[in-house]
Structure 1
Amino acid sequence: MQRFSDNHHFTEKEKLVSNRKRRGKRQELQKEAAAVLGRANLACRNKGVGKLAHARHELLSFLSREIIGQEEAIGQITRGLIRSLSPLRDKERPLLSSLMVGPTGVGKSETARALARVFFGQGDAMVRIDCGEYQQGHEIAKILGSPPGYVGSDITPLLSEGNLSRPYSALRTALRNGQPWPSGISEEVISRSGGGAFAIVLVDEVEKAHPDLWRSLLGALDYGHLRLGNNKDVDMTQAVILMTSNTAELALNKGKACPLGFAADEGEEEKNSFLKSEVMRFVSKTFPPEFLNRLDITAFYKPLSKAELAKIFDKIMGGLHDRLLQSGFPVLVQVTRKAKELVLRETLERERGNGARGLRRMVDQMIGDPLADLIIQGDVFEGSQVNISLKRGEIFLSVS
């Protein structure tokens, strides 16, 4: 009887040891599986970071083609936007808030339109506030809405959630209908933005608005929420808020160092550095510190050089060709070097201070108007080539 008990006791010990061994092996397998899963997750995260790095490169390349001569400014905006999509993002603030300062016609508003094109496929797919229309305090109600019971309380404010989400909603509808993303950048950035209604808000010439508008935007810039007149909060944590200011013209007019919107090629880098410091000084005098301190970026857009205007000229002519093709009237327009030089020279002399807008007007007047006359008169046919050259010091058009 005693022997049986001893044998029984020995068998229980064996079972205990065996169970411990099995548990040890199971724990080892679990640790190994966890390590494999961790490596897989790390690989996925690294792959995601790699995609984000690619999106940054593609976005910077796209903006460099669209906004000529403003590498520093668009570099700041690109880095700020991509940073907000990384693990460093503060999810209680907008994706990006930027004040873009510089003379007129150098690409500030065009930056917002370029972002709308790359993200939504249309340059007007954003909420635009023209601050020249809101110079009186009571006019801010058009943007934020009126309190209940007041005049205009039944009117939808410009910064309502419905208006902000309209481009994003249209994009999602198009995707559900089988249409592709506007770009690979759009898919990567919007899918990482947090799942909300990605939006672009352009506040144009913000210095012209009544200071009440600046104060009203403080909550949106700091906490990502905007309080409307009816006390409803609008979520702006998925918004890219871009504000432009021509305050720089005060500094440039005062300095008279070069025509507004253009830079003298000689000593350009030193001159732009001086202008930037002057512009930033005027900006700090124009806007209150509590407004400027809530911005992610204050980007300086420098005056354009003649070489940069020449690139913009080529871009404008490319747009002219595109419009002819879209209208079903394909015509090849060739511009000689001397004709191009004359347009640039006339722009620098007659459109002082208007940058690319001034160049566009000169192209319309010196090339667009006579070309339209030839088309209307029936001298140009589909598939024709129009040669634009210089004859006796003036622009001359011939058809071949």
Structure 2
Amino acid sequence: MSSEAAPATRKMTVLDPTRRSLQVSRFESMLRERVVGQAPAIDAILDAFSKILAGIRNPERPLLTLMFLGPTGVGKTETVKALAEAIFGKRNAFVRVNCQEFASEFTVSKLFGSPPGYVGNDVEPMLSQDNLDRHHKEAQTEGRGVFAEGEGRIAKLFPQVKSHYLSIVLFDEVEKAHPKLWNALLGLMEDGHLTLGNNKVVDFTRSIVVVTTNVGAEQMSEALRRKIIGFEVQTDHDQINHDISSKAIEAAKDAFPYEFLNRFDDIICFRVLTQDDLRKILKLMLQDVYKRLLGASMPIILHYSRSYLEKLQSEGTDPQFGARPMRRAVERILVAPLSRLIASNQVKAGDIISVRLRSDEPIFLREGSDKKGPTQTVIR
């Protein structure tokens, strides 16, 4: 009989790397509510915040650098606005560089500032540290976004010290900027720092840097026109998105230097919106109209029928232009008539207005009641 002890067995537990923390899940729900049909972009942003929580992000690079490609009107800029709202409590709480304003070399100096001795050296550059940090400071002071409760684990990651200020920077339609701007972004994305004209160094290591581009938009638009993506049952939507993504990547390689493209953490091609996506976006737009009506000087309550909703979606559907035609349809078919009714004193504060279709044309009804019960009056 052997006296040797049996080797100890170790218990192993299978871990789930796809599980999100409660704090990051809060961001996830807010982003997915506002950004429809673009899961890869949201996942990249959520992974960046997981790195902050885990404390394993690279401290010598920006928190996240992304390039957004894809057709027009699919949510590239909307994603940045939704992120700013989730973090700082305001949709415009980010530094936005409209690159078409910096098409010439001398206009780029507005971003970095003029060197000492040159005219304009006393003007604060657009990418100064103060301008970068101000949205975080304002959100903390006013208790907005992640700082509203003042306790969550994410809020504790950003104490009131400069080294912890978070910022979001958007370079919109970067292909329209002078190449001098592209060269500046090379160092920014690699080292997380940018030297201004006055020799001050700006820290981007706690910045989310997003670059959008519409290169290849014409080729993608033509492909969408031919295949009418998302509006035929037999359409292979995944295959079409793959083809569109390939066209976008090829166009980006033709338009930008390889060393520029190679600095991004991820290059994401936004997906084409399906009918289901457009329906969700339409409901978000109607929610915004509803809030505007309630917050107006003469607040009213709006109801609409299913057939009217389908009419709006039909009028606002154009696969080549994404969700923007839907916004125009809402303004033309709903907001403009409502504005005329309010301005002509046909409705008063507190009225309940119902919108329906009659002979395929929208009609506006004022709901009320009398001795016989509920009533509806057509208003014109």
Give the shorter-chain TM-score range: 0.7 to 0.9
1:116 to 74, 84, 90: 84
Q: Is the 8 A contact 1:97 1:240 kept in 2?
A: yes
CA distance in 2, matches of 1:212, 1:100: 20
1:295 Cα deviation from its structure 2 partner: 0.8
1:263 Cα deviation from its structure 2 partner: 3.9
1:56 Cα deviation from its structure 2 partner: 2.1
Structure 1 residues 280, 180: closer, same or farther in 2, change over 3 A? Answer: closer
One-letter amino acid of the counterpart of residue 127, structure 1? V
1:91 aligns with 2:56: no
CA distance in 1, matches of 2:269, 2:165: 29
Q: Is the 8 A contact 1:144 1:160 kept in 2?
A: yes
Q: Is the 8 A contact 1:119 1:183 kept in 2?
A: no
What SS class does the counterpart of residue 152 from structure 1 fall into?
coil
Structure 1 residues 305, 185: closer, same or farther in 2, change over 3 A? Answer: farther
Q: Deviations over 1:102-146 (max 9, x none)?
A: 112211111111111111111111111001111111111011111
Structure 1 residues 190, 202: closer, same or farther in 2, change over 3 A? Answer: farther
1:302 aligns with 2:267: no
Moved over 4 A (4+): 179-187, 256-260
1:331 to 269, 282, 300: 300
CA distance in 2, matches of 1:298, 1:189: 26
Q: Is the 8 A contact 2:146 2:154 kept in 1?
A: no
Structure 1 residues 111, 190: closer, same or farther in 2, change over 3 A? Answer: farther
CA distance in 2, matches of 1:186, 1:144: 36
One-letter amino acid of the counterpart of residue 98, structure 2? D
1:329 Cα deviation from its structure 2 partner: 3.5
What SS class does the counterpart of residue 398 from structure 1 fall into?
strand
Structure 1 residues 282, 80: closer, same or farther in 2, change over 3 A? Answer: farther
**Residue of structure 1 in register with 2:370 after alignment:** none
1:255 Cα deviation from its structure 2 partner: 2.9
- Output aligned runs, 1:140-155, within 5 Å: 140-155=108-123
1:324 Cα deviation from its structure 2 partner: 1.7
Identity %: 33
What SS class does the counterpart of residue 217 from structure 1 fall into?
helix
Q: Is the 8 A contact 2:36 2:280 kept in 1?
A: yes
Structure 1 residues 268, 210: closer, same or farther in 2, change over 3 A? Answer: same
1:318 Cα deviation from its structure 2 partner: 0.6
One-letter amino acid of the counterpart of residue 271, structure 1? I
Q: Deviations over 1:22-49 (max 9, x none)?
A: xxxxxxxxxxxxxxxxxxxxxxxxxxx9
1:256 Cα deviation from its structure 2 partner: 4.5
One-letter amino acid of the counterpart of residue 394, structure 1? E
CA distance in 2, matches of 1:185, 1:394: 50
Structure 1 residues 269, 367: closer, same or farther in 2, change over 3 A? Answer: same
| Bigger radius of gyration among the two | 1
What SS class does the counterpart of residue 164 from structure 2 fall into?
coil
1:189 to 133, 141, 154: 154
What SS class does the counterpart of residue 75 from structure 1 fall into?
helix
**Residue of structure 2 in register with 1:319 after alignment:** 288
1:353 Cα deviation from its structure 2 partner: 3.1
What SS class does the counterpart of residue 354 from structure 2 fall into?
strand
**Residue of structure 1 in register with 2:313 after alignment:** 344
- Output aligned runs, 1:232-381, within 5 Å: 232-257=200-225, 263-265=230-232, 266-348=235-317, 353-381=320-348
CA distance in 2, matches of 1:209, 1:144: 14
1:196 Cα deviation from its structure 2 partner: 2.0
1:244 Cα deviation from its structure 2 partner: 1.2
**Residue of structure 2 in register with 1:40 after alignment:** none
1:269 Cα deviation from its structure 2 partner: 1.7
CA distance in 1, matches of 2:230, 2:196: 43
Structure with the higher helix share, 1 or 2: 1
- Output aligned runs, 1:107-256, within 5 Å: 107-175=75-143, 181-182=146-147, 187-192=152-157, 195-256=163-224
Q: Deviations over 1:267-293 (max 9, x none)?
A: 212211221122122122222111111
1:322 Cα deviation from its structure 2 partner: 0.9
What SS class does the counterpart of residue 215 from structure 1 fall into?
helix
Q: 184-193 vs 369-378, which deviates more? A: 184-193
Structure 1 residues 258, 66: closer, same or farther in 2, change over 3 A? Answer: farther
What SS class does the counterpart of residue 379 from structure 1 fall into?
coil
**Residue of structure 1 in register with 2:73 after alignment:** 105
Instruction: Report the RMSD for the aligned CA atoms in angstroms.
Output: 2.6
What SS class does the counterpart of residue 91 from structure 1 fall into?
coil
Q: Is the 8 A contact 1:116 1:125 kept in 2?
A: yes
Q: Deviations over 1:68-107 (max 9, x none)?
A: 1112221222223423543331101111111111112211
Q: 224-233 vs 264-273, which deviates more? A: 264-273
**Residue of structure 2 in register with 1:383 after alignment:** 350
How many residues are aligned here? 346
**Residue of structure 2 in register with 1:7 after alignment:** none
1:327 Cα deviation from its structure 2 partner: 2.4
1:340 Cα deviation from its structure 2 partner: 1.7
One-letter amino acid of the counterpart of residue 342, structure 2? I
1:153 Cα deviation from its structure 2 partner: 1.6
Q: Is the 8 A contact 1:118 1:183 kept in 2?
A: no
Q: Is the 8 A contact 2:167 2:208 kept in 1?
A: yes
- The two structures have a TM-score, normalised by structure 2, of 0.84
1:354 Cα deviation from its structure 2 partner: 2.8
**Residue of structure 1 in register with 2:43 after alignment:** 75
CA distance in 1, matches of 2:52, 2:225: 37
One-letter amino acid of the counterpart of residue 115, structure 2? P
Structure 1 residues 68, 321: closer, same or farther in 2, change over 3 A? Answer: same
Q: Is the 8 A contact 1:116 1:123 kept in 2?
A: yes
